[in-house]
Amino acid sequence: MSTTPAFRLGALALGLLAGVELCAAGIENRESKIENSAMVLIPAGVYVPLQRTAKDPAQVAVASFRLDAQPVTNAEFLAFVTAHPKWRRSQVSRLFADSSYLENWASDLEPGPKAPLNAPVVRVSWFAARAYARAAGKRLPTTAEWELAAGAGYTGLDGRNDEALNRDLYAWLARPVPAVLADVGTAKPNFHGARGLHGLVWEWVDDFNTAMVTGESRGDSGLERDLFCGSGSIGANDTGNYAAFMRQALRSSLKGNNTTTSLGFRCAADLPTR
Amino acid sequence: MFGSDLLPIMKNAAVLIALFLVAASVPNVGASLDDARGRPQGTPLQEKACCAATEKPAAPKDACCAAKSAPKPAACCPATPAPAPKACCPAPAKTENPESETENYTKESLYQLEVTFTDDTGKTVALGDLRGRPVVLNMFFASCGYACPLTVTDLLAIQERLPAAQRAQTLFVLVSFDIARDTTEVLAKYRAQRALDGQWVLLRGPDDSVRELAALLGVKYKQEADGMFSHSNLVTILNREGEIVHQRQGLKGGLEEAAAALAAVK
């Protein structure tokens, strides 16, 4: 399942030139879903953590990396569970995926009408997402990487003042999860060419279990203060970024085996070392 | 847009987590991150599979070094078994073995997690190697100045109180978050400092192993800019099959309950 160096270079070049188009082609090729999903290059940048302690840096440098241009689809996940029976719905251990794992699929190897092949896969656990990424020779993005990539607007590197993006983002947050998710192709690509970072599904990050409301908590009030809502905002640097709060809250609330109707993932990879 | 199934999860949320931020500042010494991330190749099990393969010349490639061309049996299974694994299977990444021995474990067994660590003598330890003993499991880091030492003191107290027969059985396992600084030497020193006897297993791991074990236990941790870790305080008691029978949260109290849960492990 591992990608060859030649493919990596190819994917990188194509990703830069025409990333999203290649994905569409990848979906057509039912033989090899994982290898064909295109990646885009996210240039090195700076992630400003939403919350930090006094000892944390205000900014985190993020090296450039590659990120899947779109969330992993049901078709791609089907290829994975076909090759790895341990991750099929009927066989997975409850420790690694809770009882609603792939619940919207018709059966073990049939996504069915509630999970269109080209829609993002949801109801997948962190352990499953990680296993998928490993099988694809990739990994999950870190929080810093994901947020850096998702920080771009439709037209520029900084999406904070991108009105169109923010309108779409908050409209999405306000809508209930549709019973059947839309195809990944329907999401508008951002400046990096990555689709669906906002507006399709929530996504796992590799270090989700670092997301805890942070702060000096040696005192007895620690437990109380560490509830993510109120105390979280105290140390926050960008209180206008409501969506980022929601993502942080979601991450801090999850366990590695949890699955939800709106939580999917995409993979990342390091740039080839010279 | 949280799905309705998300709400109960969110309510439970971070409630259970006690965070600690330890104030000591220790220079970043020890192995580089890259060294620490190196994945131990080859558990004892793999070694066995490897050498067994040479006895059956029919399928040495598959069993020993799948996808690698023409491994020499000599390199695969040298007369001295110790340093074999790397030479045997130079696979670049941890090979996940989806259809492997996991079915031997019970549904709830944490030992289904196929990760390996290194102990304070440099020996590779798969999580499943702990099978067959009652286990008290705690994640920590050696330079922790506040929560971890207290927890170790508590665990020593639990160990002290165990009836002799049970004391001889029970393993106390400490797994470090600090993949960069907690080298085998540092762990060995920690063992000496805290006078931990042979029932204590001190483990360090590659990032993947530590992160997955933490996720499985429900332990959250985060390295701060000064190198210290914020982390949940969670002591987990496993039965002989590796199933969680009890978790003690926080730092205060809960010792009696933990000891009782341990005593109840048959």
Is B204 a domain residue?
Answer: yes
Residue B208: per-residue pLDDT: 92
Q: Note whether residue B103 is domain-resident.
A: no
> Which residues in chain A have their CB less than 8 angstroms from residue B220's CB?
209-212, 252
Instruction: Give pLDDT tens digits for B69-124.
Output: 434 444 444 444 444 344 343 333 444 444 444 458 998 999 999 999 999 999 99
Q: CATH number, domain at B236?
A: 3.40.30.10
Please choose, from the candidates B119, B118, B120, B142, the residue with its C-alpha nearest in 3D space to the C-alpha of residue B37: B118
CB-count exposure of residue A40 (10 Å: 0-12, 13-18, 19+): buried
Q: What is the pLDDT of residue A10?
A: 41
Residues B55 and B16 in one domain: no
The range of the structural domain enclosing residue B231 comes to 4-24+33-39+110-263
**Do residue B70 and residue B172 come from a single domain?**
no
- For residue B193, being part of any structural domain is answered with yes
Location of structure tokens 């805290």:
B194
- Mean pLDDT, chain B, rounded, equals 71
In three-state form (DSSP H/G/I as H, E/B as E, the rest C), the secondary structure along B87-153 is HHCCCCCCCCCCCCHHHHCCCCEHHHCCCEEEECCCCEEEHHHHCCCCEEEEEECCCCCCHHHHHHH
Domain assignment present for residue B101? The answer is no
- Under the phi-then-psi rule, with left for phi > 0, alpha for psi from -120 to 50, and beta for the rest, what region is A72? beta
Q: B134 φ, ψ to 5°?
A: -65, 140
Q: What is the tally of structural domains in chain B?
A: 2
Using the beta-carbon criterion (under 8 Å), do B108 and A210 form an inter-chain contact?
A: no
The answer to whether the CB atoms of B93 and A57 lie below 8 A apart is no
Asked if residue A188 has pLDDT above 80, the reply is: yes
Residue B50 lies in a domain: yes
Question: For the segment B18-46, what is each residue's pLDDT rounded down to a tens digit?
Answer: 333 333 333 333 333 333 333 333 333 33
pLDDT for residue B220? 85
List the structure tokens of A109: 């190897």
Q: What is the pLDDT of residues A220-237, one digit of tens each?
A: 333 333 333 333 444 445
B3–A260 C-beta distance less than 8 A = yes
3-class SS at A142? Answer: coil
Same domain, B58 and B156: no
**Res B26: pLDDT:** 35
In this prediction, residues A45-51 reach a mean pLDDT of: 82
Listed residue (A122, A78, A104, A95) closest to B127, CA to CA: A95
ipTM (interface pTM): 0.74
Are residues B130 and B50 part of one domain? no
The architecture (CATH level 2) of A41-270 comes to Alpha-Beta Complex (3.90)
Domain boundaries, chain A: 41-270
Torsion of CA A127, A129, A133, A139, to 10 degrees: -80
Return the pLDDT at A228.
Answer: 32
Distance from CA of A193 to the nearest CA of B (A): 24
SS3 category, B49: helix
Asked whether residue B177 is assigned to any structural domain, the reply reads yes
For residue A238, pLDDT over 60 is answered with no
**Both B139 and B198 in a single domain?**
yes
Residue A111 above 90 pLDDT?
yes
Q: State the Cα–Cα distance between residues A272 and A77, nearest whole angstrom.
A: 25
- Closest-CA distance, A150 to chain B, in angstroms, reads 18
Q: Tell which A residues from 225 to 254 touch B, by Cβ distance under 8 Å.
A: 226-228, 249-250, 252-254
Provide CB contacts within 8 A for B183, sequence distance 6+.
Answer: B30, B31, B36, B204
Q: Indicate whether B68 belongs to any domain.
A: yes
- Inter-chain Cβ pairs, chain A and chain B, closer than 8 A: 146
Report CB contact under 8 Å: B6, A2: no
* Pair (B244, B128) in one structural domain: yes
Residue B67 lies in a domain: yes
**What is residue A51's predicted lDDT score, i.e. its pLDDT?**
65
**One domain, residues B134 and B249:** yes
pLDDT average, residue stretch A41-52: 85
What was the pLDDT predicted at A211? Answer: 63
Please give the mean pLDDT across all residues of chain A. Answer: 78
Any chain B CB within 8 A of the CB of A93?
yes
Does residue B209 surpass a pLDDT of 50? Answer: yes
C-alpha closest to that of A134 among B139, B49, B76, B92: B92
Interchain contact, B21 vs A222, CB within 8 Å = no
What 3-state DSSP class applies to A52?
Answer: coil
- pLDDT for res A14: 37
Residues of B in contact with A222 (CB under 8 A): 18-19
A256/B225 touch (CB, cutoff 8 Å), yes or no: no
The pLDDT confidence band at residue A254, using thresholds 50, 70 and 90, is confident
How does pLDDT run across B160-192, given as a tens digit for each residue?
A: 989 999 999 999 999 999 999 999 999 999 999
